[in-house]
Amino acid sequence: MNKPTRAERFSGLSVAIVTPFRDGRVDEKRLAEQVGFQVASGVKCICPVGTTGESPTLTHDEHERVIAESVQAAAGRLLVMPGTGSNSTAEALRLTKHAAKAGADAALVVGPYYNRPTQQGIYEHFKAIAEAVDIPICVYNIPARTGRNIEPETILRLAEIPGIAMVKEATGVMDQASQIIAGSDLTVLSGDDSMTLPLMAIGGRGVISVVGNLVPADMKSLIDAFDAGDLARARQLHHKLFTLCRDLLGLASNPIPIKAALRLVGRDTGEVRLPLVPLEPPLVEKLRKVLVDYGLRLA
């Protein structure tokens, strides 16, 4: 039996949705279709404009518009937790306030990247954001991209702030996740699809998924099976999903492979933006085989 966590309404499957581009612009029609697909799949929450949503290449206006359009498309049918992080505290504050005003249910705030703040600086960054808005904050810890781990001691300090409700745990370090889960009531969500079941086994409450853009029903079934105590079924789905999860994140930088996969199954979300480039043809063929082996029907 899992102990209650601070943001149980966000437990289960959240999907870090892609940002569709067409001819260099955000394709708002296709964005609404992507949200509708997630609603129909029974997903709990969408997370637009995160890593998968190519937020680093969005202009400020585009970032704000995608948040507003995602909230509008969701229309209360699922939760919306957009990415609002930045290495500038002032910019993260602005984006998070915009998300709250637009009607988002929470904000996914990545650790400050590039400028490599101290742990105290990281603490003050998140404290300033959490105290400025009324929506819950999910601390997104992905040191492979930010260059700085948010140490578990820092996260446990942040847990003392009421507005800090969740952690997207993408370090791959189970000892760190265990320390956070044991020492707080924060809702811990996996930031790696392939780590969903292991993290839930130690008290994690779900995943913010990339593969959920493609096969949300299978990832939801894994989580539901675990929550129902059907560990055999959860393990079966974990092993089925593993190769797909590995290759969608291993063939090239996210979201290059997931956008290529969506195109192959007939759900084209357009190009990636520079400095990202399309998946190279030999890797497309490898991805095609992975999708077919998984049982997906190609367009």
Quote the CATH superfamily of domain 8-228: Aldolase class I (3.20.20.70)
Q: What is the pLDDT of residue 211?
A: 97
Q: Tell me, what DSSP letter sits at residue 220?
A: H
Of the listed 44, 140, 220, 259, which one is catalytic? Answer: 140
Residue 171: pLDDT band with limits 50, 70, 90:
very high
Which one is catalytic: 44, 127, 168, 220?
A: 168
pLDDT at 3: 77
Mean pLDDT of 248-255: 91
Query: CA–CA distance from 132 to each of 106, 141, 164, 179, 204 (Å)?
Result: 13, 21, 12, 27, 27
Separation of alpha carbons 129 and 97, rounded Å: 9
Token digits of residue 193: 């699809």
114 flagged as catalytic? no
> Which of 20-34, 88-102, 240-254, 283-297 has the lowest average pLDDT?
240-254
Write the pLDDT tens digit of every residue in 99-140. Answer: 999 999 999 999 999 999 999 999 999 999 999 999 999 999
Torsion-angle region of 85 (φ positive above 0: left; ψ -120 to 50: alpha; else: beta) = beta
Domain residue extents for the chain: 8-228
What value does the CA radius of gyration of the chain take, rounded to a whole number of Å?
A: 18
Active site residue 220: no
Residue 190 has pLDDT above 80, yes or no: yes
